[in-house]
Amino acid sequence: MLSINITIVIPLLIALFLPYLSKKKLPFHIGWFVLAVPIILFIIISSYIPSVASGETYLYTIEWIPTYGIHFTTYLDGLSMIFGLLITGIGSLVILYSIYYLSSKESLHTFYVYLLLFMTAMLGVVFSENLFVLYVFWELTSISSFLLIAFWYHRKGSRNGAQKALLITVSGGFSMLTGFIMLYSMTASASIREIIASIDQYIGHPLFVPALILILIGAFTKSAQFPFHIWLPDAMEAPTPVSAYLHSATMVKAGIYLVARFTPVFGGEALWFWLVSCVGLITMFWGSFRAIRQTDLKALLAFSTVSQLGLIMSLLGLGSIAYHLGVEEESVLFTLATFAALFHLINHSTFKGALFMIVGIVDHQLGTRDIRRLGGLMSFMPISFTVAIAGSFSMAGLPPFNGFLSKEMFFTSVLNINQLDLLSLDTWGILFPIIAWVGSILTFVYCMIFVFKTFAGNYQENKLEHEAHEAPIGMLISPVILAVLVIGIFLFPNIVGKYIITPAMLSVFPTFTPTLDLGQTISYWHGWKLEIWMTIGVIAFGTFLYIFFQKWKGVYSLFSPKWSFNTLYDNLLEKSEARSFHLTKFYMTGYLRDYLVYIFLFLIVVTGGIFLYTDAFLFDMSGDAPVRGYEWIIVLVMLIAGVSILFAKSRVTAILLNSVLGYMVAVLFVVFRAPDLALTQLVVETISTVLFLLCYHFLPEWKKGKTERKTKFTNMVISISVGSLFILIALAVNSESLFETISRYFEGAYELAGGKNIVNVILGDFRAFDTMLEVVVLFIAGIGVYSLIKRRTIKGEENLEDQ
């Protein structure tokens, strides 16, 4: 079998190669070339299904930063396989759909580069076994999704939606990174498998709960959980293929993946259960409540996605209760919730992906997504109507569609939790089935609105931009395939359960096996139990609320927009920008002197304050070598040159006096037997002097103005303070009063790095990243200078041509 690393590398390589493909040279649509990528990856991952189903896992490691245990390690198990199949499978259908959806006038190369970059990031997230590598890919999903959401950047809504998604998800990512660092600090390991294996001994650690909360914040922001859900509806400004891929099947599932992956780490903590399950249920209810009032089909699906993600999240929280029961037979009953979460995860990707594509077809064919302008489309678009029925009814939890099966398991899970005499569930547990049932009723209502307000009723031709007709067959292939899967999974659910979901259960409950059988048998009928009566109640009350919607929709007027989380976000962003502008205007005066004053004052206060606070300004010079006469002469020359610069009447004089300072430093290096440093100092000083003279030659004549006495006094105080501070720091460091000198570490340069020249080893090995970044800065500066010169040259040539 091919290494699972290939699935991450292939889309990245194609994304880098894609810009060089010319539209004129390709005899076919570029999308067909890109389509091969997810199909190949799906086949590769599918080839692992039999072995992973039998309990095997696959680990591949490429060393990266061994000092800190950070390696590019990929890990394929049941949990990562589910997400890998969704990312590549749904990705294939989305790319096929986009070939017919996007106009050839669009920047298709750019679109597919962004899409492949996002695919790489998502595969990296689910296959990464190292905390910090996972974080790198995690933030890459935010960046690539930002680019995809803002693909139609000429639209203000797209830019704002992309900005909101980036700010919220990246902020959550920083929180998650802090949690990862805490985990690493506790366990001294960045390996997720090693952390899971050893976490029992760290449960009482002071950083355990903070790490739990911070990691959950990262998961909640990415999966649009309440109250971080506000970015998802605005992200619907993206092209429909993006919405179908990112916001129904992949990116928003990253938070779900994170919670599932870290359930073995934090599942035994009561706070994990309460946060994940309660936030999930609240999100489910609020998302379904908000979806009903939407008049834009994509907005309706956006809030429905929020609701469905909340349902899955709550199930993962309910499933973690098994860790409180331990490895006992009765705990299997409560792992059903996790099984249902993974099952609904798959089901949601199928029916929601199909629904997003149908909305795209409606918008593409009719020029509108406004429910108030739609109606009567079933006779004009029968295939789209059929797919919409399958997707909507599955989301509503009706048979014979796969959503019915996972929704029934959802009801069973909340009813089981209600019966537990654990974690105060015997009292508060009654709220779980109530909120779940009410949320399901609201879900039924918005599903009926989606189907019947769009495809039933009167055809309003005068309100449409284009005449209604069915979409091209190419655009229908992907949603039809997903609709077939919706029904197919309902008919053969245990194939998915046995080969896909059960192996993932072993990842969420690794310590429960082989003691307990975590597999579940999915049944169509459980008898006349409370779950079926809850379903009947959902249909009955949901139908009633849908029919009489006009009678009770006034309840939404109680929720004023000015008190919404969107308003809070907008106000926060607006005030932050205003405060930032005023703060920046305060210190960005345009005068170099002011900037130096801020820098030096900060240095004096912070550095000097720390040394004073730690009593580091303690030094003993009794053991130092005596200062010889010629050394006093060198220092005296430096003092005279430094003071003389202040009274120089011309730039040339100031530059030459400054070079005297530099050359005297080189002489000191020679005296102290540091020929390498002396040579470097001489070369740098000579080049600097020549460049200064060359640059100042072309500047206007220097007219020294009068400086106020107050400014002179301020300059003198700051100069003396900075100089004195560095003298004291040098003496303190030499006495090693604050900490042991680091020079002893560098003395082992030959043993540690194989270099005999300690200065070269420090530059090229010990601080290689710093040196590399310095080179990059110089390279960027060089590009900037070259661009300015080139621009000036071209402009001069244009002026000559005009003359």
Distance CA 8, CA 1 (A): 15
Query: Residue 796 pLDDT more than 80?
Result: no
Distance CA 358, CA 241 (A): 11
Confidence of residue 400 (pLDDT cuts 50, 70, 90): very high
Element (H, E) at 70: strand 70-76
Query: Residue 779 pLDDT more than 70?
Result: yes
Confidence of residue 446 (pLDDT cuts 50, 70, 90): very high
Confidence of residue 265 (pLDDT cuts 50, 70, 90): very high
Confidence of residue 673 (pLDDT cuts 50, 70, 90): confident
Query: Residue 802 pLDDT more than 60?
Result: no
Q: What is the mean pLDDT of residues 194-204?
A: 90
Confidence of residue 327 (pLDDT cuts 50, 70, 90): low
Q: Which amino acid is at 21?
A: L
Query: Residue 697 pLDDT more than 90?
Result: no
Name the least confident of 157-161, 388-392, 564-568. 564-568
Q: What is the mean pLDDT of residues 741-766?
A: 77
Query: Residue 424 pLDDT more than 90?
Result: no
Neighbours of 400 (CB within 10 A): 14
Going 183 to 188 to 192 to 197, the CA torsion angle's sign is negative
Q: Characterize 622-657 residue by residue with b for buried, 16 or more Cβ atoms within 10 angstroms of its Cβ, and e for exposed.
A: eeeeeeeeeeeebeeebeebeebeeebeebeebbbb
Q: What is the mean pLDDT of residues 223-233?
A: 92
Place of tokens 């004089």: 653
Is-cis flag, bond preceding 227, omega within 30?
yes
Between the ranges 233-242, 384-393, 510-519, 572-581, where is the mean pLDDT highest?
384-393
Q: What is the mean pLDDT of residues 295-299?
A: 93
Q: What is the mean pLDDT of residues 712-727?
A: 87
Question: 482-530: per-residue pLDDT in tens?
Answer: 999 999 999 999 999 999 999 999 999 988 765 566 777 888 887 788 9
Question: 343-378: per-residue pLDDT in tens?
Answer: 999 999 999 999 999 999 999 999 899 999 999 999
- pLDDT for the residue 738: 63
Q: What is the mean pLDDT of residues 78-95?
A: 95
- pLDDT for the residue 800: 53
Q: Dihedral of the CA atoms 427, 428, 430, 436 (nearest 10)?
A: -170
Element (H, E) at 73: strand 70-76
112's CB contacts (< 8 A; 6+ apart) are 15, 18, 30, 31, 34, 95
- pLDDT for the residue 128: 93
Distance CA 158, CA 156 (A): 5
Query: Residue 249 pLDDT more than 80?
Result: no
Query: Residue 173 pLDDT more than 80?
Result: yes
Q: What is the mean pLDDT of residues 385-410?
A: 95
- pLDDT for the residue 797: 59
15's CB contacts (< 8 A; 6+ apart) are 112, 113, 116, 117, 120
Confidence of residue 338 (pLDDT cuts 50, 70, 90): very high
DSSP 627-658: PPHHHHHHHHHHHHHHHHHTT-SSHHHHHHHH
Tokens of 26: 């390709």
Could you tell me which residue, 769 or 308, shows the higher pLDDT?
308
Tokens of 325: 């029961």
Could you tell me which residue, 206 or 327, shows the higher pLDDT?
206
Q: What is the mean pLDDT of residues 278-289?
A: 95
Distance CA 387, CA 383 (A): 6
Tokens of 742: 């680091």
- pLDDT for the residue 798: 57
Mean of all residue pLDDT scores within the chain = 88
Query: Residue 461 pLDDT more than 90?
Result: no
- pLDDT for the residue 2: 60
Q: Is 520 helix (H, G, I), strand (E, B) or coil?
A: coil
C-beta of residue 286 within 8 angstroms of C-beta of residue 229: yes
Question: 143-155: per-residue pLDDT in tens?
Answer: 999 999 999 888 8
Q: What is the mean pLDDT of residues 561-571?
A: 84
Name the least confident of 117-121, 530-534, 561-565. 561-565
Cα distances from 525 to residues 43, 279, 348, 408, 532, in angstroms, run: 34, 30, 21, 9, 9
- pLDDT for the residue 704: 62
Confidence of residue 619 (pLDDT cuts 50, 70, 90): confident
- pLDDT for the residue 794: 63
